Every structure is written in C-alpha cells, then in structure tokens.
Structure 1
Amino acid sequence: MPIYAYRCSACGHAKDVLQKLSDAPLTTCPACGAQSFSKQVTAAGFQLKGSGWYATDFKGGSTATPATPAASDAAKPEAAKAEASASPSSSTSCGGSCACH
C-alpha cells in the first residue's frame, strides 16, 4: 500500500497516510476540520541501485568507453607503477641483467 502525503491549505497541518489505491482521497483535515486537506506531489521513496540499467546507462550522463592500455596504466596506484618499473622485465633482450632498466 502506498503512503500519501496530505496537507491542509487552511491551517498548514501535514500528515502521511497509508492508503489503498482504491481508497477515496481524504478531504477533511484532522487538525482543524476544514475541507481543504489534499494530496501533495512527492518524490518516489525508492532508489535503483546496483549494476542494473540505471546505474550503468543513465547515471552521470556519460557513455562507457573501453579501457585503452594507457588508460589502464593511468588507473594503477603509484606504488604499483613504481614496482613495475623497478622490476626487470623478462621480455627484454638482456633479460634484466644489465643496468639499462
């Protein structure tokens, strides 16, 4: 059952009411008795979270692009970059045994 926000335009009394969709809207203010109690327009009470369509397609308004080798290297922490450059590479012609690295 949805929760509707009501507000009296005569006295300003506000109340949230749990009602069925088939229930008639309230019109009488419980505080002052005036016939000016009406439903208010409110935001939805839920959020779409996780890896679903909302989070990946519309949040932030940007499109996803595949990562390039330069972009993935830029995403590495600085400690990992320093460690990778300090360790000798086995794919070089000298095998990492010289001081050229």
Structure 2
Amino acid sequence: MPIYAYRCSACGHEQDVLRKISDPLLRTCPECGRDTYEKQVTAAGFRLKGTGWYETDFRGGSKPGAAGAEPKSSGGEAPAPAAPATSPSSPG
C-alpha cells in the first residue's frame, strides 16, 4: 500500500498516511476538524541503484565484441574501393 502525504491548508497539520489506492481521499483534518485536508504531491519513494542498463541489454542480437562479430582490421589500410557498376549498353 502506498504512503500519501496530507496537509491541512487551515491549520498546517501534516501527516503521512498509509492508504489503499482504492480508498477515498481524506478530507477532514484530524487536528482541527475542518474539511481542508489535502493530499500533497511528493517524490517517488524508491531509489535506482546499480550500474543501470544499456540499450543492448534487451535486444535479441549479439553484443558488441561477442563471438561472431566482424573483426577490425589491424593493418590500418582502407579497403579497396569497389569497381563502379556499369550497365550493359543496348544496341541502338
């Protein structure tokens, strides 16, 4: 069950309340009895720990550097350019 922060706008009373999501909002302040009790917007109550995730963690393909990956050339030479494609000339 989530914990909600409530504050009375009339008297300033603040309280954290453990409530079900389906429970109705609290309206009456337990301190002064007025119907000015409001739910506050607060930060999420969890922290993300660890190294995180990467976009490659959830893909079906191989990861960089895995077996079967294309090896880099160590010679430092650029590959030879491919010959330009020629279309067969039609007799005209």
- CA displacement at 1:52 relative to structure 2: 2.0
Give the match for residue 2 of structure 1.
Answer: 2
Q: Give the corresponding residue for 1:22.
A: 22
- By relative contact order (CA 8 Å, sep 6+), the higher-ranking structure is 2
Root mean square deviation of aligned Cα? 1.4
Give the 4+ runs in structure 1 shifted more than 3 A. none
- Cα distance in 2, alignment partners of residues 5 and 30 from structure 1: 14
Aligned-partner residue type, residue 41 of structure 1: V
TM-score norm. by structure 2 comes to: 0.57
Count of residue pairs the alignment pairs up:
55
> What residue in structure 2 maps to residue 32 of structure 1?
32
Unpaired stretches in structure 1, ≥5 consecutive residues? 58-101
* Alpha-carbon displacement from aligned partner over 1:36-94 (angstroms, at most 9, x marks no partner): 000000011111110223xx79xxxxxxxxxxxxxxxxxxxxxxxxxxxxxxxxxxxxx
Higher Rg: 2
Looking at structure 2, the residues matched to 51 and 41 of structure 1 have their Cα atoms a distance apart, in angstroms, of 29
Question: Aligned partners of 2:5, 2:35: CA distance in 1, in Å?
Answer: 16
SS of the aligned residue for 1:42 comes to coil
Paired residue type of 1:13: H
Q: Distance in 2 between matches of 1:22 and 1:44?
A: 19
Which residues of structure 2 form unaligned runs of 5+?
Answer: 56-92
Correspondence list, 1:1-101, <5 A: 1-53=1-53
Percent identity for Structure 1 against Structure 2: 69
Task: Report the TM-score when normalising by structure 1.
Answer: 0.52
